[in-house]
Amino acid sequence: MSAPRVVVFDYGSGNVHSAVKALEAAGADVRLTGSKREAFESDGLLVPGVGAFRAVVDQLRSSGADEVIDRRLAGGRPVLGICVGMQVMFDSGVERGFDAEGLAQWPGVVEKLDAPVLPHMGWNTVDAPAASALFAGVASERFYFVHSYAARAWPLDASGPFAAPQVTWAEHGERFIAAVENGPLWATQFHPEKSGKAGIRLLTNWVDTLTAH
């Protein structure tokens, strides 16, 4: 069986080569490209994100990545968001007093964490649900976070043809969403590609699901 084809969408979000290497280590055939056609046709699409919420949304829209994400999810084709690539999947983000519209794949708002030290930078544990496929075998491991903003509530109930969402939490000053598995759209607030062996195993869990699509 050939390796699943994964596109890391290159829309100008910064250095994403570590994500490419981590996905390769996880068993994927990876291509870093800004091609909308390749991004749509791939077995899996990874949406990275570095920087401010509004800037990442603007870059995604200007590159047409928002349309690719919409089309893939409408067809049940897997998408994985990382860090700000997860945050922009929510309705909106409030950053430095500005309310920016997100991609609205999920309801909810990304806001600044109420914590004594920001950014939240370093290794942290997570509280993953027992049914999580993403965290299979690594639920007790630590993962690497770098962020000051996060979604702090999950208002979406199970609906449609997909199983109930699996929501993983972490804590830094307060509880926040560390990862979501919701139908074909999965995402992590932390950086799997910077999380050592546990991060590779987590990405392998995602890549392994791509063979079914």
Res. 169: pLDDT tops 60: yes
Question: What is the pLDDT, as a whole number, of residue 212?
Answer: 55
191 is catalytic: yes
Mean pLDDT of 40-51: 94
Q: How many CB atoms within 10 Å of residue 147?
A: 21
- When pLDDT is averaged across residues 89-98 and rounded to a whole number, the result is 90
* Count: domains in the chain: 1
Segments forming the whole domain that contains residue 180: 5-210
| Active-site annotation holds for 83 | yes
Can you give the pLDDT at residue 159? 60
Q: Which of 37, 38, 1, 26 is nearest to 206 (CA)?
A: 26
Of 213, 212, 202, whose CA–CA distance to 132 is shortest? 202
DSSP state of 158: P
| Candidate list 17, 83, 120, 172, residue with the active-site label | 83
Task: Give the tokens for residue 9.
Answer: 């969408």
Model pTM above 0.85: yes
User: Given 120, 147, 172, 191, which residue is catalytic?
Assistant: 191
What's residue 156's pLDDT? 79
Residue 176 has pLDDT above 70, yes or no: yes
Active-site residue identified among 95, 111, 181, 193: 193
**Residue 191 belongs to domain with CATH number:** 3.40.50.880
Task: Work out the average pLDDT over 41-62.
Answer: 94
- Average pLDDT along the chain: 94
CA 183 to chain CA centroid, nearest Å: 13
Percentage of the chain lying above the pLDDT 70 cut: 96
212 or 39: whose pLDDT is higher? 39
